[in-house]
Structure 1
């Protein structure tokens, strides 16, 4: 039987976590799925750890990333997309825990032909996971389309890589940029929504991300230059995409330009200005905005600290 859902999981040296992650997938209340595990060339015992699981459950597949796909998470996921047979696509990491109703509730929402993706809440945990799930099927929801691009990009409406199920059609012309080693899903997901695909967000936690220092986010938080350079590249790509689709509002320009101040070592502000190709007067206006922004940020922080001290 053709699987309705394709779960794509890139893995790299996660032998100590992956069995628990795969057990959570086997415990899904929705059963018509395939799980495509793509090993990025790890050197630990992952293949030995998952061998009994592969033998017991044919819904799991294990592949080594071929050399024609670039090393890294985006390359592994793109390979998984090329292998996927499901009507729906979801990406799981190799060290996290999915709620048992994850697939069931997302598929239920995607039964509406006007819905192309289902976003849900993702929580984080440290150390051991406590299996105390809420099985309620009562939750609030709201719709998402191009109007929410600013909230997607500034993370007030977070689109975590493992917190969305997509229709496979969303990836027919959209793939991960294989050279990005951070913020690759942020760039891709905003690009998909900018293409006109609309979806729904449900207010229920369906995924639990394991927080540990070996993760890509942990490396970024420690100022890893490879992750930071990738984020800067992703921001430039987002600006280029929005420019091409004529979706650049004043608010989006302001956000991207203000955000670039944190990436001065990568000359990101000038790169964004070149990408936007603005009229001379507007370009000068944004150059002035950028020049005074550090002072405005200092004043804002001091004002915030003063208000906080007066409140106490």
Structure 2
């Protein structure tokens, strides 16, 4: 059996790098794959570069993101998934590199009761390998709680997943943090994953990354707050008390560093209802005293600290 593997690559203005990525796909020892490149509105020669690969090898496809999908990498990822046909799916970034046996190694690791396999990555820059995105502790069980608690983690590139269990979409409103959101939700569908104790990809670190653009402390805090609020909205009906507590603690902490929460009344209502019905009433009171104090005086850290402590 040689199942079809869909490699889905969103791209934007990567004409100078995507050729290296596609070459690394061509070098795969496993050959039954389709590589779907979805362009998110590039203004450079990305299309020309990719079309050259399409002409040379019919396993490559080039698509332009349709307007019904929101602009950004997540809209492109969702569109790529919708047009893909593989029994297994591997999303990948257009500036990173697959090691030659990446797909074969992950496929070989599947067993009857496994829904996804997680490999390892190496970070690299112009000077060579510099670090790892994550240092995996293989003794910690794969679960939504462990992932949300950030005691385990991985990057999208390194996951090969059975198509049949992908019952969710990438959140197209998120501009970063999509891995945290997507895999947190996937783990509520299945935690039947397996670690492949092997490097399967190289992730490029460069100055144009979203992480570098989020340079200011306030920008980063706003993004972290948005990520937690979106995740809260996605999983609040499924999560146990420990997971809810963890997410609420982060929302409270990030809220204390910015007033952005006040512009999200629908989420505030949801958060407050949970604080009132699922946790101690004094957490609810502390959170409200903080909001009131912050609006009037710009202060109120005492109440945030108190609420955070109670949730511990």
TM-score by length of 2: 0.79
Who is 1:257 aligned against? 248
Comparing 214-223 with 189-198, greater Cα deviation is found at 214-223
85 and 199 in structure 1: CA distance in 2 versus 1, 3 angstrom threshold: same
Who is 1:207 aligned against? 201
26 and 287 in structure 1: CA distance in 2 versus 1, 3 angstrom threshold: farther
Spell out, residue by residue over 1:186-207, the C-alpha distance to the aligned partner (whole angstroms, 9 max, x if none).
1111111112342111221111
Who is 1:122 aligned against? 121
Who is 2:81 aligned against? 81
CA distance in 1, matches of 2:186, 2:278: 31
CA distance in 1, matches of 2:170, 2:44: 26
Q: How many residues get paired?
A: 280
1:216 correspondence with 2:210: yes
The answer to whether the 8 A contact 1:28-1:100 is kept is yes
Who is 1:307 aligned against? none
Match of 2:177 among 166, 173, 183: 183
CA distance in 2, matches of 1:209, 1:224: 26
CA distance in 2, matches of 1:30, 1:163: 16
CA distance in 2, matches of 1:61, 1:12: 16
CA distance in 2, matches of 1:43, 1:224: 30
Who is 2:233 aligned against? 240
Deviation at 1:279, TM superposition (A): 2.4
1:136-155 aligned within 5 A: 144-145=141-142, 148-155=143-150
277 and 254 in structure 1: CA distance in 2 versus 1, 3 angstrom threshold: closer
The answer to whether the 8 A contact 2:74-2:171 is kept is yes
Deviation at 1:152, TM superposition (A): 1.1
Match of 1:160 among 155, 164, 173: 155
For structure 1, the 5+ residue unaligned runs are: 131-139, 297-312
CA distance in 1, matches of 2:29, 2:128: 19
Comparing 262-271 with 40-49, greater Cα deviation is found at 262-271
The answer to whether the 8 A contact 2:12-2:40 is kept is yes
35 and 288 in structure 1: CA distance in 2 versus 1, 3 angstrom threshold: same
RMSD: 2.9
Task: State the SS of the aligned residue for 1:35.
Answer: strand
For structure 2, the 5+ residue unaligned runs are: 130-136, 291-300, 307-312
Deviation at 1:217, TM superposition (A): 2.3
67 and 83 in structure 1: CA distance in 2 versus 1, 3 angstrom threshold: same
Comparing 272-281 with 81-90, greater Cα deviation is found at 272-281
Deviation at 1:103, TM superposition (A): 0.4
Spell out, residue by residue over 1:4-44, the C-alpha distance to the aligned partner (whole angstroms, 9 max, x if none).
10000000001111111111111111111000000000000
